[in-house]
Amino acid sequence: MKLTERLSQSKPMIMGILNVTPDSFSDGGRYTTVDSAVEKARAMLQEGALIIDVGGESTRPGAQRIPAAGQLRRVLPVIEALREVMPPDRYISIDTTLSSVAEAALDAGADCVNDVSAGRDDPGIFELVAARNVPLMLMHMQGEPKTMQDSPHYEDAVAEVLDFLLRRIDAAGAAGIPRRYLVIDPGIGFGKRKIDNLKLLAHLDRFVATGVPVLLGTSRKRFMGSILDVADPAELVAATVATTTLGVIKGVRVFRVHDVKENYQALEVAWAIQQSR
């Protein structure tokens, strides 16, 4: 089954995070060899992930940009190796904002593109996705990773983020990408204050109401640590599970997480309860 067909179904799915970077906020430096990355991906697939999201550039607050050549050195060997072992009903996503990286990743076996800039960094991504007929994840971010948490501000975070995503959906459509190939992500933690993140979570149904599948990425995010007075992101697994449960109830379709087993269990139980209604 193609990923576009899977996304059209109502049951949500887990996207496992595979950062092949030295500086990601929670797991940087842990999967920088092909063998370690493939081993981690295998574990996430066994734990219930349907998508493995491979990224070669950290987007943590304060992160420096990595040029295409640097990203490709990191991600291509991993994607090629993953393609050899991936079951036919599981998928690879390339996490990049650059069309050249996305194109090479698709050539190597990736199934979709996850663009945290929503096509603003490189409009060529829209042309590429339209030509390849693959899903595209569009995320909201105020500013850029290096400066996004310096002084984020919104008058109405929910309305402003939703308006941005609707405009990016229109821009993607104008470039020839069918609406059914799109996924939207409110960008929890990307240029947002704690109150903004909480309001977005409280109103996930407004994003679901667009009819475009919604992706939620709260995994180990700092705003939850500030609520709990916890500094270590690895200690925020249960907090992430709480947001996954909420997201299933609200109708979110994809959950991008580090801790697949725990979030898969939460998803399955929440979904079973929803279905019983």
Active-site positions read 221, 256
Structure tokens at 181: 């190939």
Chain centroid to CA 164: 17
Task: Report the C-alpha gap between 99 and 105 in whole angstroms.
Answer: 10
Instruction: State how far the alpha carbon of 115 is from the alpha carbons of 33, 44, 204, 241, in Å.
Output: 23, 22, 20, 24
Q: What are the start-end ranges of the H helices in 86-140?
A: 99-108, 124-132
Instruction: State how far the alpha carbon of 63 is from the alpha carbons of 24, 32, 59, 193, 224, in Å.
Output: 8, 17, 6, 18, 20
* Residue whose C-alpha is closest to residue 15's, from 173, 135, 158, 168: 135
Task: Report the C-alpha gap between 163 and 161 in whole angstroms.
Answer: 5
Instruction: State how far the alpha carbon of 211 is from the alpha carbons of 99, 133, 140, 186, 248, in Å.
Output: 26, 19, 17, 14, 15
